[in-house]
C-alpha cells in the first residue's frame, strides 16, 4: 500500500479514536466517583451538537462571523450538555446510588431516549440528518496521495488538547483532587471536608462538557449530525471505557483508540467484510473483558472483605 | 360533446339522488392503510397516509360513489413483527375489505402470508423488494410501485451510457441495501461497467472515512450508494471531507428533501433513480398537488404519496364495481389492465406487479430535478469530474 | 495424640510492601478453643481470610486434617468444614433470616438440578426439618429471632444480626469455626449470654475446634483453652490465659498501641 | 388479617380474577376512556393492596393461598381465551404477551436471581426462532423437540458469554451482553447463511401432527387458528412459571440468591459463585430460547430485526417494571408494555417518549417495580402461618 494512503488511514483512525476516547473518558469519570454507568452519555453528545448547531444558525443570521459563531456554538453546546448531565446526575443517578446497577443503567438509558426523542420531535424535521456548517478554513494539505483538510488537523489537535487538558484537570487541580478522593473512598473524602454532592455534580459537568466538545467535533468533522447518533456512540464509548478500565484515566483513552483501530483495520484489510467491522470490534471487546475482567488498566483493588 | 352531456346528466341525477336520500343510506366501507407512522421512516409513511386519506376524502365528496369510505390507518413502525401484528388486526377486522400496505420492504415481505391467510386483498404502495410480489403466488398481493429491479437496471444502463465505467458500491446490510446492490451489480456487467469494491455497511454507521479512503485509493469513476437518506448524506459529506475524486449516484432511498438538506452544497450533481415521475409529469399531477394543499395536511406527500393515492383509488374503484366483498375485490384487482391513474396506466403482470419504468433525477440547485429537464442533460452543467 | 486439625507453618501474607502475616506457625487440635488476640491491624482478620481461601498467602503452608488448604478454592475449603463469621457483618439483609442461616447448611444438601424439580416431596421434608433445626438453634440465642425466621435479616438489630451470623456458621456443623469479634458492640450481659450459648454448643460437639478473635479478656478467659497473640503479623505469644496476662511482650504490644 | 381460611381463599380467587378481567378488557378495549380507566383502576388496586391495612392483608392472603390463586389464574386464562376464541388479533396479542412473559421469566431467573444483567435477551429470543427455522426447514424433527432444541441451542450459545460473564460483575456483564446482542444481530444481517436481513420462513407449529396453521375449529366450534397458539403459549408460560417457582423455593434458590447478594460469604460456605451463576444464566437462556422458537413458528418468519438492542431493552423494561423477581408482575408488565403502544395510536409520535418517562418514574419512585418480589417463605408449616 502507498505510504500516503497508509497515512490517511492512520489519520482517520486517530480522529475516530480521539472522539471515542473523549466519550469514554466521561463514562470512566462517572464510574470513578459513583460506580455507575450513565448510559445517556451518548445522547448528551448529540444534545451538545444540536445546541451548537442552533447557536451557530442564530449567530449566522445576525452577523456573518464564522469564528464568533464557532465560539458561541461551542459555549452553547457545553452549557446545554453540562445542564443535561447535571440534571440527569442530580435527579436520576444520585438518588439511585444504592440501587442495583441495572436500575441505574436502565434509568439513564431511558433518559437518553427522552433526550433523543425530544431532539427528534423538537427540532424541525428532526428525524432527518442535519448539515453542520463548515466553520473552519477548508484548505487542504496534499502530500502525494495523502490529502487532509486543515480543519481536520485542527479538529484532531483540539481533541488531543482537550484529552490532555482533562488529564491535567483531574490530576493537578482542586476539583480533580476532590474527584480522585471521592473515587478512592467517598466516606473518607467526606470526612476530610469534601462536599460529596458537589464533587459528583462537578464530575458530571466535566464529563458532559467533554461530550459537548466531542459533539461539536463530530459535527465539524463529518459536517452532518443526526438525532440518533448518540446511541451507537454511547455503546462504543461505554465499550472503550470498560475495555480500557472503568475508573481509570488512561484506560478509556487507550480503549477508544483500540476500538477505532480494530474498526479501521477490518475495513482496510477486507473491504468486502467491512460490514463485519462491528462484529469484529465487539468480539474483541467480549474477548478482552474475558481476559482482563477489570479492564486493561485496572484502578480498582480487589474487594475488601 | 355527447359524452360530457351524458356525464352532466348523470352527475345531476346523482346529485338529486344524493340530496333526496339521507346520507346514512350509503354503506360505509373500511380500507386499511399500513405504513411507518413513527420512527426514522415516518416522513414517507405519513405522506402515504395523507395521500390515501386524500383519495378517500375526494371519493366521499363524490356524489356518484355508491359507498362511503373510511380509511383506517395503522402504524407498522417499520418493524416486521409489529407489521404482522397490525396486519393481523386489519385482516381480522371483517369490516375492512382491502388494504393499502407497507413502505418498508422488510415489513412488506413479512406480512404477505398473513394477508394470503386471511384473504385480504392489499395493494403495496411503497415497498420495493421484488420478492413481495415475485417471491410468492398469492392472489391477494398487488403492487402499484415498481421494484428495485427497475431501479437497478436503469441505474446500470444510464450510468454506463454516460461514460462511467468503474464503480465502488456502498450499501447498507438491510434487505433494501442488499437488494439494491444485487440488482445494480447484476445489470452492470452486461452494460459494460465494473465494480472495483463493494462495502456493505451497517445502516446506522457514522464514520465512512476508512471505506472512503480505500475507495479513494481505487479511484472509481463513481460511488453508488444503496441505502436510505442518512447513509447517503454521510457518504456524500465525508467524500467531500476526504477529497474523494468521484461522483455519487444513489437509489430512490436518497431521493428525499432530507438528503438535499443534510448534504448541503455537496449534494449538487448527485444522481438518483426512482420509480415515480415528478408530479408535474403526471397528467393529473397538478390537480393532486392542489387538492393535497387544499386538504391542509401538515406534511408533504413525499415521493411515494402518489402511489398510495393511486392504490387507494384502485381499491375504491374495485369496490364500486363489485361491492365490498374481499374475494370479488381480489378478482377485480387481479384483472387490472390499462387502468388510468395518477401515476399513469396501471398494468398488473401475472404476479400482480404493476409494470413501471424508473426515471433518472439529479440534484440541481438544491432540488431534485427530472433528468431530461435538468441543466446537466442540457449540457449546461457537468457531472463528470470535480 | 493425633495430628492437629489445623496446622499452619510459615504463613506469610504481603500486600505490596505491607507484611500482614509474617511466618505464622499455628496448630489447632480438635476440641480446643484458641483465643486469638492482638491490636488492630495485627493480622487476625487476614489470618481468617487466608484460612478461608479469600487471600492467597505469599508463602507458607496450611493443612486441614492433613489436606493442603491452599490447593482448594474458598468454596472447597467451606465444604471441607471451615465456617466463619465476619468482622463486618455479612448478611443478606434483604433476605429472610432463614435464608441466611440455611446458607450455612447448604454444604450438606443435595444440590442437583433434577432433585429440586422432581423430588418436591423429599425436598419439602428436608426443608421442614431444617426450619425446625434453625428455629431451635436461633431460639437458644434469641427467641425473637426464632419466631421471625421469615422476616428480612435487615430488620434486626446489630446484635441479632451477629447472632444470625453465628447461627449460620454453627448450622454448617463445621470442624473448624472461626469467630471474628463476635462480641463487638454487645453489652457485657449480652456477651456473657452469647458465650454461654457457645460453650453449650461446644459441649455438644466435642470435636469442634474454634478460633476466636476477641478484645474482651473476660471472654477469652472464659472460653479459650489456649491463647495466641499476634502483633504486626507475628506470633508473639502462645500459652495459657494466665501466662498471657503475665507476659511482658504482650503488655508492651498492647500498651504501645494504645490499648 | 383474615383469620380463617374462607375469606383468604376468597381473596386469592378475587384478586387474580380481577387482574385477568382487567387485562382482558385492556386487550379488547378500543376507546381511549376505556384504556385510561383500566390503567387508573390498575394503579388504584395496586395502591390499595400496597398501602392500606386491608389491602396488605388481601395481598398476604393471595401469597398464602398460592395454589388457589394459581388455579384461579389458570381458569381465568382459559376463560379469557375462550371469550376471544374468534378474535384473531386479541389472541395474537395474548400469545405474544404470554411468550414474552415466558422469556421474561427466564430473564428474571438471570437478573433477579442470578444478578446477571442480560441486555441480549431479544438476541437469544431470536436465536430460538432461528433454531426452529433451521430445524423445521432441514430436518423432520418433531416440533415439540424443535422447541426443546430452541432452548438447548440458545443455552449452548450462551456458553460463549459464560467466561466473561462469570469473571465480571454488574456493568461489565451488561456491556458483554450488549456487545453480544449487537454482534449477533449484525452477524445475522450481514451473513447470508441464515437468510441475511430477510431472515427465514418457519412453518406453523404442528405438534403430534396437529398443524396449528390450519386449525379452524375445535369440536365443531369455529375458532381462530391463533387459539391453539395462545393456548400453547399460555401452557409454556405455565411451565416456565412452575419451573421458576420450583427453583426459587428450593436449596438452589437460596444458593443462587446468596451468590448474587454476597459472592464472598457464599463461597466461604461452600457455594461456587461460578456454578450457580452459570446455572441461572443457562436455565434462563433455555426458557428464552424455547419461547423464541414458538414465537417464530407462530409468526411464520424470523429476521435479525428482532434481535435488536431496542427489543432487548423492552424485555428488560418488562422485568424491571413488573418487579425484579416477581413473576406475576412480569405478566402484568408484559401485557401493559406490549399491548399499550398499539392502544396509544392517537399519540403515536410521542409513544417512545412517554414510555421512557414512565420507566424513569417507576425506577425513581418505586425501584422495586410495580409488584416487588416477596420474601421467600419456605417450609410447609410457615407457608400457612405467614
Domains of chain D: 87-338 (1.10.3470)
Please spell the DSSP secondary structure of C93-105, one letter per residue: TTSBHHHHHHHHH
When pLDDT is averaged across residues D339-344 and rounded to a whole number, the result is: 76
User: Which candidate from B85, B131, B202 shows the least CB-CB separation from D342?
Assistant: B85
In whole angstroms, give the CA distance from residue D154 to residue D283: 10
In whole angstroms, give the CA distance from residue C213 to residue D15: 53
Question: What is the reported pLDDT for B184?
Answer: 93
Question: What is the reported pLDDT for B158?
Answer: 92
Q: Between chains, do D180 and A286 touch, taking CB under 8 Å as contact? A: yes
Q: How far is A108 from chain C (nearest CA, A)?
A: 25
Whether residue C86 lies within 8 A of chain A, CB to CB, comes out as yes
Q: How far is A303 from chain C (nearest CA, A)?
A: 10
Question: What is the reported pLDDT for D191?
Answer: 83
Per residue in C15-47, is it b (16+ CB within 10 Å) or e — as a string? eeeebbbbebebebbbebbbbbbbbeebbbbbb
In whole angstroms, give the CA distance from residue D171 to residue C162: 31
Give me the percent of chain D exceeding a pLDDT of 90.
32
Per residue in D167-185, is it b (16+ CB within 10 Å) or e — as a string? bbbbbbbbbbbbbbbbbbb
Please spell the DSSP secondary structure of D228-288, one letter per residue: HHHHHHHHHHHHHHHHHHHHHTSHHHHHHHHHHH-HHHHHHTT--HHHHHHHHHHHHHHHH
Q: Between chains, do A242 and D171 touch, taking CB under 8 Å as contact? A: yes
Question: What is the reported pLDDT for D125?
Answer: 96
D177 vs D86: which has the higher pLDDT: D177
User: Which candidate from D167, D349, D367 shows the least CB-CB separation from A103?
Assistant: D367
Domain boundaries, chain A: 25-229
Touching chains, D (3+ CB pairs < 8 A): A, B, C
Of 3.40.50.300, 3.40.50.1820, 3.30.590.10, 3.30.1540.20, the CATH number of C1-81+175-259 is 3.40.50.300
B64 vs D289: which has the higher pLDDT: D289
pLDDT tens profile C27-83: 999 989 999 988 888 888 899 999 999 888 888 889 888 888 888 899 999 999 999
Domain boundaries, chain B: 2-147+278-355, 149-274+360-373
Q: What residues of chain A lie within 8 A of the CB of C49, using their CB?
A: 305
Residue ranges of B 52-81 with Cβ closer than 8 A to chain D: 73-75, 79-81
How remote is the C-alpha of D262 from its chain's centroid?
Answer: 26
Q: Is B149-274+360-373 the same fold as B2-147+278-355? A: yes
Q: Which three cell numbers stand for residue C17?
A: 510492601
In whole angstroms, give the CA distance from residue A288 to residue C258: 49
Question: What is the reported pLDDT for B12?
Answer: 54
Question: What is the reported pLDDT for D381?
Answer: 54
How remote is the C-alpha of B203 from its chain's centroid?
Answer: 20
Q: Between chains, do C54 and D246 touch, taking CB under 8 Å as contact? A: no
Which run of H or E residues covers position C15? strand C6-15
Q: Which three cell numbers stand for residue B225?
A: 450508494
Low-confidence ranges of chain B (pLDDT < 50): 1-2, 22, 385-386
Residues 6+ apart with CB under 8 A from A140: A147, A148, A149, A150, B243
Whether residue B348 lies within 8 A of chain A, CB to CB, comes out as no
Residue A63 CB neighbours (<10 A): 9
Low-confidence ranges of chain A (pLDDT < 50): 301-305
In whole angstroms, give the CA distance from residue C30 to residue C81: 13
Does A contact D via 3+ CB–CB distances below 8 Å? Answer: yes
Question: What is the reported pLDDT for B17?
Answer: 52
Reported residue count of chain B is: 386
Alpha-carbon radius of gyration of chain C: 19
Q: What residues of chain B lie within 8 A of the CB of D299, using their CB?
A: 81, 84, 110
Residue A246's SS3 state is: coil
In whole angstroms, give the CA distance from residue A30 to residue A18: 19
Q: Between chains, do B92 and D196 touch, taking CB under 8 Å as contact? A: no
Residue D194 CB neighbours (<10 A): 17
Question: What is the reported pLDDT for D22?
Answer: 85
Q: Between chains, do D377 and C168 touch, taking CB under 8 Å as contact? A: no
Number of CB pairs < 8 Å for A and B? Answer: 116
**A270 touches D156 (CB < 8 A):** no
In chain D, DSSP assigns E strands to 200-201, 217-218, 221-222, 301-302
Q: Which three cell numbers stand for residue D1?
A: 388479617
Of the pLDDT bands very low, low, confident and very high (cuts 50, 70, 90), residue C258 is: very low
How many CA atoms lie less than 13 Å away from C97 in the CB half-sphere? 26
Q: What residues of chain C lie within 8 A of the CB of A305, using their CB?
A: 45, 49, 54, 86
Whether residue C47 lies within 8 A of chain A, CB to CB, comes out as no
Residues 6+ apart with CB under 8 A from A184: none
Q: Between chains, do A235 and D178 touch, taking CB under 8 Å as contact? A: yes
In whole angstroms, give the CA distance from residue A232 to residue B205: 8
How many CA atoms lie less than 13 Å away from D28 in the CB half-sphere? 12
Which CATH number describes the domain made up of B149-274+360-373?
3.40.50.2300
Question: What is the reported pLDDT for D386?
Answer: 34
Give me the percent of chain D exceeding a pLDDT of 70.
95
Of the pLDDT bands very low, low, confident and very high (cuts 50, 70, 90), residue D214 is: confident
Question: What is the reported pLDDT for A271?
Answer: 67
Q: What residues of chain D lie within 8 A of the CB of B178, using their CB?
A: 196-197
In whole angstroms, give the CA distance from residue B141 to residue B120: 9
Which CATH number describes the domain made up of B2-147+278-355?
3.40.50.2300
Q: Between chains, do D264 and A305 touch, taking CB under 8 Å as contact? A: yes
Does B contact C via 3+ CB–CB distances below 8 Å? Answer: no
B210 vs D5: which has the higher pLDDT: B210
**B88 touches B114 (CB < 8 A):** yes
Q: What residues of chain D lie within 8 A of the CB of A31, using their CB?
A: 171
Q: Between chains, do C102 and D379 touch, taking CB under 8 Å as contact? A: no
Residue A2 φ then ψ, to 5°: -55, 135
Task: Identify residues of D whose CB sits under 8 angstroms from chain C CBs.
Answer: 243, 246-247, 250-255, 257-258, 261-262, 264-273, 279, 375-382, 386
User: Alpha helix locations (H) across chain A?
Assistant: 3-34, 41-62, 66-88, 101-122, 150-172, 174-184, 186-191, 196-222, 229-244, 250-269, 277-291
Residue A234 φ then ψ, to 5°: -60, -45
Name the DSSP letter for residue A287: H
Residue C122's SS3 state is: helix
Residue C136 CB neighbours (<10 A): 10
Give me the percent of chain C exceeding a pLDDT of 70.
97
Residues 6+ apart with CB under 8 A from C114: none
Question: What is the reported pLDDT for A303?
Answer: 40
Question: What is the reported pLDDT for C259?
Answer: 44
Computed from CA positions of residues B369, B373, B375, B379, in that sequence, does the dihedral angle turn out positive or negative? positive
Per residue in D234-267, is it b (16+ CB within 10 Å) or e — as a string? bebbbebbebbebbbbbbbbbbbbbbbbbbbbbb
ipTM over 0.95: no
In whole angstroms, give the CA distance from residue D108 to residue D373: 11
In degrees to the nearest 10, what's the CA dihedral of B364, B365, B370, B372?
-70
Q: Between chains, do C92 and D258 touch, taking CB under 8 Å as contact? A: yes
Residue C159 φ then ψ, to 5°: -65, -45
Domain boundaries, chain C: 1-81+175-259, 95-173
pLDDT tens profile D312-331: 989 999 998 888 888 988 99
Q: Between chains, do B261 and A127 touch, taking CB under 8 Å as contact? A: no
Asked if the model's pLDDT at residue D298 lies above 60, the reply is: yes
Which run of H or E residues covers position C145? helix C143-146
Q: Between chains, do D190 and B173 touch, taking CB under 8 Å as contact? A: yes
Q: Using CA coordinates, name the residue in chain D closest to A119.
A: D353
Question: What is the reported pLDDT for B10?
Answer: 58
| CB-based burial label for B55 (10 Å; 0-12, 13-18, 19+) | buried
User: Which candidate from D172, D190, D364 shows the least CB-CB separation from A275?
Assistant: D190
In whole angstroms, give the CA distance from residue B106 to residue B228: 14
Residue C80's SS3 state is: coil
Number of CB pairs < 8 Å for C and D? Answer: 118
Q: What residues of chain D lie within 8 A of the CB of C95, using their CB?
A: 257, 261, 375-376
Residue A279 φ then ψ, to 5°: -55, -50
Touching chains, B (3+ CB pairs < 8 A): A, D
Amino acid at each position: 500500500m502507498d505510504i500516503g494512503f497508509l497515512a490517511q488511514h492512520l489519520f482517520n483512525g486517530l480522529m475516530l479514536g480521539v472522539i471515542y476516547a473523549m466519550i469514554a473518558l466521561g463514562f470512566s469519570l462517572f464510574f470513578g466517583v459513583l460506580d455507575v454507568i450513565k448510559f445517556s452519555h451518548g445522547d448528551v453528545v448529540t444534545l451538545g451538537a444540536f445546541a451548537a448547531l442552533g447557536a451557530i444558525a442564530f449567530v449566522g443570521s445576525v452577523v456573518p462571523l464564522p469564528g464568533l459563531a464557532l465560539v458561541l456554538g461551542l459555549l452553547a453546546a457545553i452549557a446545554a450538555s453540562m445542564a443535561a448531565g447535571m440534571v440527569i446526575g442530580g435527579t436520576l443517578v444520585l438518588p439511585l446510588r444504592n440501587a442495583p446497577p441495572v436500575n441505574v443503567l436502565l434509568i439513564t438509558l431511558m433518559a437518553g431516549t427522552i433526550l433523543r426523542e425530544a431532539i427528534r420531535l423538537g427540532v424541525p424535521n428532526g428525524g432527518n440528518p442535519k448539515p453542520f456548517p463548515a466553520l473552519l478554513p477548508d484548505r487542504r494539505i496534499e502530500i502525494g496521495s495523502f490529502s487532509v483538510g486543515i480543519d481536520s488537523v485542527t479538529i484532531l489537535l483540539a481533541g488531543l488538547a482537550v484529552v490532555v487538558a482533562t488529564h491535567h484537570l483531574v490530576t493537578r487541580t482542586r476539583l480533580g483532587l476532590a474527584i480522585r478522593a471521592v473515587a478512592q473512598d467517598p466516606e473518607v473524602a467526606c470526612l476530610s471536608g469534601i462536599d460529596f454532592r458537589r464533587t459528583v455534580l462537578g464530575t458530571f459537568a466535566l464529563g458532559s462538557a467533554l461530550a459537548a466538545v466531542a459533539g461539536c467535533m463530530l459535527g465539524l468533522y463529518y459536517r452532518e449530525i443526526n438525532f440518533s447518533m448518540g446511541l451507537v456512540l454511547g455503546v462504543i464509548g461505554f465499550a472503550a471505557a470498560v475495555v480500557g478500565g472503568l475508573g481509570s484515566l488512561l484506560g478509556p483513552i487507550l480503549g477508544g483508540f483500540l476500538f477505532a483501530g480494530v474498526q479501521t483495520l477490518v475495513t482496510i484489510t477486507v473491504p468486502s467484510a467491512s460490514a463485519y467491522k462491528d462484529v469484529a470490534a465487539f468480539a474483541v471487546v467480549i474477548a478482552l473483558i474475558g481476559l482482563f475482567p477489570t479492564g486493561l488498566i485496572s484502578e480498582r483493588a480487589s474487594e475488601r472483605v | 360533446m355527447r359524452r360530457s352531456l351524458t356525464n352532466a346528466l348523470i352527475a345531476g341525477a346523482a346529485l338529486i339522488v344524493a340530496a333526496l336520500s339521507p346520507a346514512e343510506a350509503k354503506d360505509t366501507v373500511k380500507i386499511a392503510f399500513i405504513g411507518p407512522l413513527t420512527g426514522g421512516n415516518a416522513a414517507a409513511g405519513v405522506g402515504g397516509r395523507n395521500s390515501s386519506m386524500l383519495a378517500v376524502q375526494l371519493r366521499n365528496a363524490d356524489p356518484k360513489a355508491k359507498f362511503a369510505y373510511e380509511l383506517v390507518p395503522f402504524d407498522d413502525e417499520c418493524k416486521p413483527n409489529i407489521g404482522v401484528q397490525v396486519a393481523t388486526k386489519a385482516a381480522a377486522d371483517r369490516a375492512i375489505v382491502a388494504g393499502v400496505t407497507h413502505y418498508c420492504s422488510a415489513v412488506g415481505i413479512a406480512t404477505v402470508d398473513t394477508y394470503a391467510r386471511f384473504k385480504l386483498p392489499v395493494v403495496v404502495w411503497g415497498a420495493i423488494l421484488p420478492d413481495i410480489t415475485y417471491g410468492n403466488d398469492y392472489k391477494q398481493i398487488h403492487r402499484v410501485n415498481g421494484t428495485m429491479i427497475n431501479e437497478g437496471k436503469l441505474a446500470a444502463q444510464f450510468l454506463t451510457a454516460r461514460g462511467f465505467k468503474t464503480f465502488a458500491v456502498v450499501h447498507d446490510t438491510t434487505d433494501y441495501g442488499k437488494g439494491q446492490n444485487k440488482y445494480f451489480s447484476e445489470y452492470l456487467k452486461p452494460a459494460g461497467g465494473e465494480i472495483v469494491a463493494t462495502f456493505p455497511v451497517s445502516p446506522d454507521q457514522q464514520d465512512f472515512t476508512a471505506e472512503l479512503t480505500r475507495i479513494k485509493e481505487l479511484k472509481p469513476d463513481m460511488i453508488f450508494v444503496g441505502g436510505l437518506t442518512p447513509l447517503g448524506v454521510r457518504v456524500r459529506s465525508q467524500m467531500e471531507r476526504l477529497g474523494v475524486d468521484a461522483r455519487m449516484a444513489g437509489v430512490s432511498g436518497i431521493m428525499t428533501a432530507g438528503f438535499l438538506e443534510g448534504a448541503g452544497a455537496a449534494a449538487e450533481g448527485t444522481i438518483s433513480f426512482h420509480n415515480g415521475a415528478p408530479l408535474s409529469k403526471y397528467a393529473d399531477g397538478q390537480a393532486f398537488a392542489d387538492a393535497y394543499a387544499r386538504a391542509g395536511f401538515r406534511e408533504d406527500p413525499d415521493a411515494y404519496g402518489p402511489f398510495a393515492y393511486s392504490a387507494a383509488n384502485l381499491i375504491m374503484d374495485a369496490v364500486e364495481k363489485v361491492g365490498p366483498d374481499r374475494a370479488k375485490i381480489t378478482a377485480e384487482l387481479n384483472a387490472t389492465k390499462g387502468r388510468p391513474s395518477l401515476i399513469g396506466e396501471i398494468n398488473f403482470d401475472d404476479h400482480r406487479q404493476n409494470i413501471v419504468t424508473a426515471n433518472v433525477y439529479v440534484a440541481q440547485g438544491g432540488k431534485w430535478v427530472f433528468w431530461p429537464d435538468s441543466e446537466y442533460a442540457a449540457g449546461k452543467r457537468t457531472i463528470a469530474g470535480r | 495424640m493425633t495430628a492437629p486439625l489445623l496446622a499452619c507453618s510459615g504463613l506469610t501474607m504481603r500486600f505490596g510492601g505491607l507484611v500482614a502475616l509474617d511466618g505464622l506457625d499455628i496448630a489447632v487440635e480438635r476440641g480446643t478453643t484458641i483465643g486469638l488476640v492482638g491490636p488492630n491491624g495485627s493480622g487476625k482478620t487476614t489470618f481468617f481470610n487466608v484460612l478461608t481461601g479469600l487471600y492467597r498467602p505469599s508463602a507458607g503452608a496450611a493443612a486441614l486434617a492433613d489436606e493442603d488448604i491452599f490447593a482448594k478454592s474458598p468454596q472447597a475449603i467451606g465444604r471441607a468444614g471451615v465456617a466463619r463469621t465476619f468482622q463486618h457483618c455479612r448478611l443478606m439483609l434483604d433476605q429472610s433470616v432463614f435464608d441466611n442461616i440455611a446458607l450455612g447448611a447448604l454444604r450438606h444438601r443435595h444440590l442437583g438440578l433434577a432433585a429440586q424439580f422432581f423430588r418436591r416431596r423429599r425436598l419439602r421434608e428436608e426443608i421442614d426439618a431444617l426450619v425446625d433445626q434453625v428455629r431451635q438453634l436461633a431460639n437458644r440465642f434469641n427467641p425473637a429471632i426464632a419466631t421471625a425466621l421469615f422476616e428480612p435479616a435487615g430488620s434486626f438489630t446489630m446484635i441479632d444480626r451477629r447472632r444470625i451470623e453465628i447461627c449460620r456458621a454453627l448450622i454448617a456443623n463445621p470442624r473448624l469455626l472461626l469467630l471474628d469479634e463476635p462480641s463487638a458492640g454487645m453489652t457485657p450481659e449480652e456477651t456473657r449470654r452469647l458465650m454461654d450459648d457457645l460453650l453449650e454448643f461446644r459441649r455438644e460437639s466435642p470435636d469442634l475446634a474454634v478460633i476466636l478473635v476477641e478484645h474482651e479478656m473476660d471472654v477469652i478467659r472464659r472460653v479459650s483453652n489456649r491463647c495466641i497473640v499476634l502483633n504486626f503479623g507475628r506470633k508473639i505469644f502462645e500459652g495459657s490465659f494466665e501466662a498471657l496476662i503475665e507476659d511482658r511482650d504482650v503488655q508492651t504490644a498492647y500498651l504501645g498501641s494504645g490499648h | 388479617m383474615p383469620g380463617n381460611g374462607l375469606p383468604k381463599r376468597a381473596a386469592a380467587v378475587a384478586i387474580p380474577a380481577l387482574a385477568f378481567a382487567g387485562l382482558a378488557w385492556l386487550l379488547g378495549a378500543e376507546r381511549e376512556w376505556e384504556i385510561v380507566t383500566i390503567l387508573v383502576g390498575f394503579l388504584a388496586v395496586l395502591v390499595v393492596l400496597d398501602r392500606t391495612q386491608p389491602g396488605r392483608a388481601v395481598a398476604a392472603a393471595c401469597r398464602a393461598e398460592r395454589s388457589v390463586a394459581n388455579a384461579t389464574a389458570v381458569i381465568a386464562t382459559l376463560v379469557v381465551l375462550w371469550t376471544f376464541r374468534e378474535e384473531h388479533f386479541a389472541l395474537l396479542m395474548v400469545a405474544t404477551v404470554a411468550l414474552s412473559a415466558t422469556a421474561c421469566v427466564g430473564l428474571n431467573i438471570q437478573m433477579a436471581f442470578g444478578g446477571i444483567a442480560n441486555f441480549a435477551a431479544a438476541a437469544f429470543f431470536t436465536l430460538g426462532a432461528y433454531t426452529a427455522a433451521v430445524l423445521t426447514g432441514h430436518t423432520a424433527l418433531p416440533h415439540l423437540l424443535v422447541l426443546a432444541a430452541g432452548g438447548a441451542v440458545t443455552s449452548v450459545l450462551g456458553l460463549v458469554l459464560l467466561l466473561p460473564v462469570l469473571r465480571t460483575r454488574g456493568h461489565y456483564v451488561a456491556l458483554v451482553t450488549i456487545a453480544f446482542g449487537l454482534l449477533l444481530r449484525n452477524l445475522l444481517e450481514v451473513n447470508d447463511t441464515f437468510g441475511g436481513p430477510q431472515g427465514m420462513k418457519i412453518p406453523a407449529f404442528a405438534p403430534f401432527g396437529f398443524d396449528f396453521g390450519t386449525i379452524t375449529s375445535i369440536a365443531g366450534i369455529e375458532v381462530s387458528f391463533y387459539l391453539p397458539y395462545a393456548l400453547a403459549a399460555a401452557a409454556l408460560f405455565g411451565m416456565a412459571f412452575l419451573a421458576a417457582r420450583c427453583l426459587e423455593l428450593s436449596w438452589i434458590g437460596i444458593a443462587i440468591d446468596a451468590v448474587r447478594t454476597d459472592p464472598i460469604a457464599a463461597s466461604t460456605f461452600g457455594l461456587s459463585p461460578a456454578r450457580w451463576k452459570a446455572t441461572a444464566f443457562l436455565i434462563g437462556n433455555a426458557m428464552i430460547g424455547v419461547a423464541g422458537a414458538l414465537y417464530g413458528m407462530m409468526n411464520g418468519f424470523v429476521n435479525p430485526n428482532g434481535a435488536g438492542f431496542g427489543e432487548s431493552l423492552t424485555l428488560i423494561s418488562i422485568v424491571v417494571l413488573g418487579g425484579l423477581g416477581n413473576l406475576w408482575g412480569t405478566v402484568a408488565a408484559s401485557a401493559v408494555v406490549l399491548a399499550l403502544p398499539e392502544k396509544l395510536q392517537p399519540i403515536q409520535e410521542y409513544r417512545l417518549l412517554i414510555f421512557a418517562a414512565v420507566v424513569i418514574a417507576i425506577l425513581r419512585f418505586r425501584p422495586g417495580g410495580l409488584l416487588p418480589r416477596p420474601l421467600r417463605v419456605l417450609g410447609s408449616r410457615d407457608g400457612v402461618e405467614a
